[in-house]
Homo-oligomer: A and B are copies of this chain.
Amino acid sequence: MGISERKEREKEEMKKLIIDTATRLFIEQGFDKTSMRSIAEAMEYSPATIYLYFKDKSELFDAIHRQGFKVFFEYLSQVNTIEDPMERLNQLGIQYLTFAIENPGYYDLMLIMREPMSTQRNEESWDQGDTSHKILTTTVEECVSKGHFRGNDPAVVSFMIWSQVHGICSMMIRDRMKFYPEEQREELMFAAKKVFMDMVRSF
C-alpha cells in the first residue's frame, strides 16, 4: 500500500506548511493581523483548504502554541545540570526572561493571550503548562529543604516567583515600560530580577 502511505506523508507536509506559514506571519505581524485568509494567500491556497487540516483558527494556533512550549522548554532545560537549587532557580529566571525577549510573539500567545479553549486543546496545553510549573515548584521545594524561604509554603513561593518574572515579561511585551528609554528596558528587566533574587537569597 505505497499510495496511502504517500498520501499520509503529503497530509503531514500540508499540515506543516500551514503551521509554518501561520507561524511566520504570526511572528512577523502578530496575532490580530494573521487572518485565515492571509495565511491561505501566503500559501497560495484557498482559505477553505486550511479547514480540511484544522478544525478552526483556535486549533491551528494551538499547534503554534505547542511549538512555542517546545522552544520554551529548550531554554529552561539549560539549567538542568546546576546542582545548587538556588543558583538553578536564578538561572531559570534568566532563561525565562531571555525566552520572552527573544520570542515575544510566542510568549504573548502562550502566556498572555486569552485562549478560546476547545476541550482537546486545553488538555495538552494544560500538560505543558503543568510541566513548566513542575520544573519551578520542584526547584523551589529543593530550596526549601535546604533551609531557604523560612519554611513558607512552596506553592505560595512558586506562585510568587512565577508572578514576578511573568510580570516583568508582561510589562515588556505589552509595552508598559514607556517610563524608561527603550535601550534601557532589557537591562531594567534583568536588574529587577537581580534585586528580586538578592532578596530571595537573603530571606
Residues of A near any B CB (own CB < 8 A):
111-115, 126, 129-130, 133, 149-150, 152-153, 155-157, 159-160, 162-168, 170-171, 174-180, 188, 191-193, 195-196, 198-200, 202-203
Residues of B within 8 A of A155 (CB): 180, 188
**In the assembled complex, how far is the CB of residue A116 from the closest CB belonging to chain B, in whole angstroms?**
10
Q: How many angstroms between the C-alpha atoms of A198 and B149 in the bound complex?
A: 10
Tell me the smallest distance from the CB of A172 to a CB of chain B, in Å.
Answer: 9
- Number of copies of chain A assembled together: 2
A15 CB to nearest B CB, Å: 28
Whether the Cβ atoms of B191 and A153 lie closer than 8 Å is yes
A87 CB to nearest chain B CB (Å):
18
Given A115-B175, A129-B179, A130-B179, 6 more contacts at CB 8 Å? A157-B192, A160-B192, A163-B164, A163-B171, A166-B176, A199-B200
Please give, as numbers and ranges, the residues of chain B lying within 8 Å of A174 by CB-CB distance: 112-114
Please report the C-alpha to C-alpha distance between residue A115 and residue B176 in the assembled complex, in whole angstroms: 10
Residue in B126, B159, B179, B196 whose beta carbon sits within 8 Å of that of A192 in the complex: B159
In the complex, 14 of the A-B residue pairs with CB atoms within 8 angstroms, ordered by the A residue number, are A111-B176, A112-B170, A114-B175, A129-B179, A152-B195, A156-B192, A159-B177, A159-B192, A160-B195, A163-B168, A167-B168, A198-B203, A199-B199, A199-B200
Name A163's contact: one of B113, B114, B150, B192 (CB within 8 Å).
B192
A178 CB contact (under 8 Å) in B114, B126, B156, B176: B126
Please indicate the chain B residues that have their CB under 8 angstroms from the CB of A170 in the complex. Answer: 112, 163, 166-167, 170
Whether A171 touches B162, Cβ cut-off 8 Å, given contacts A129-B176, A200-B199, A203-B199, is yes
The closest CB in chain B to the CB of A192 belongs to B160
Please give the distance in Å from A190's CB to the nearest CB on chain B.
Answer: 10
Which of A133, A160, A166 gathers most chain B CB within 10 Å? A160
